[in-house]
Amino acid sequence: MVKSILVSLDGSEYSERALTIARELAKATGARIDLISVALRYKEAHVPPVEKLDEQTRQRILDYLMPHLDAIKQDGIQAGGHIAHGAPSEEIVRQAKETAADLIVMSTHGIGATGLHALGSVAMKVLETAPCPVLMVRIPQ
């Protein structure tokens, strides 16, 4: 039985379609939903100090996640939000382990999707290394 669902959101309409499916699954099973959004780290760039960028990025992601969390909770579903910095596939898998997710729901492609390949690189890596089943929501061609 599915008790905990992890949903990866990257700001794309594709990932939000995956969230819609996860919400329906949670309503049907009584599962909790945890959202994760991952920011890439800035390396060796001529930009403000990383700490400042990390905080600005964290706030932007939080502003993005909160309306989704509020909507999930209004459906009577327990929910939590997680913000990570690093390689998206690694952070999604790490969060799945940390929250003991029974299922990961994500789109086959995210921001910058071209649809040229069956799976995007993040989706492929998560599928290969996930500690639980992964439901991939296909994007339209």
pLDDT at residue 3 in the model: 97
Distance CA 105, CA 45 (A): 33
Instruction: Name the CA dihedral angle for 91, 23, 9, 57, rounded to a multiple of 10 degrees.
Output: -90
pTM of the model: 0.87
Q: What is the CATH number of the domain that holds 95?
A: 3.40.50.620
pLDDT at residue 117 in the model: 54
User: In which element (H, E) is residue 122 found?
Assistant: helix 121-129
How many structural domains does the chain have? 1
φ, ψ for residue 12, nearest 5 deg: -90, 155
Q: What is the pLDDT of residues 5-44, one digit of tens each?
A: 999 999 888 899 999 999 999 999 999 999 999 987 655 4
pLDDT at residue 121 in the model: 83
- What stretches of 4-120 show up as alpha helix (H) in DSSP? 13-29, 50-74, 88-98
Residues lower than pLDDT 70 in the chain: 41-51, 53, 110-119, 140-141
Task: Identify the residue whose tokens are 């890596």.
Answer: 125
Q: How many residues does the chain have?
A: 141
| 3-state secondary structure (DSSP) of residue 117 | coil
pLDDT at residue 40 in the model: 73
Please state the separation of Cα 6 from the chain's center in Å. Answer: 7
Domain assignment of residue 67, given as a range? 4-137
Closest CA relative to residue 64, chosen from 38, 85, 27: 38
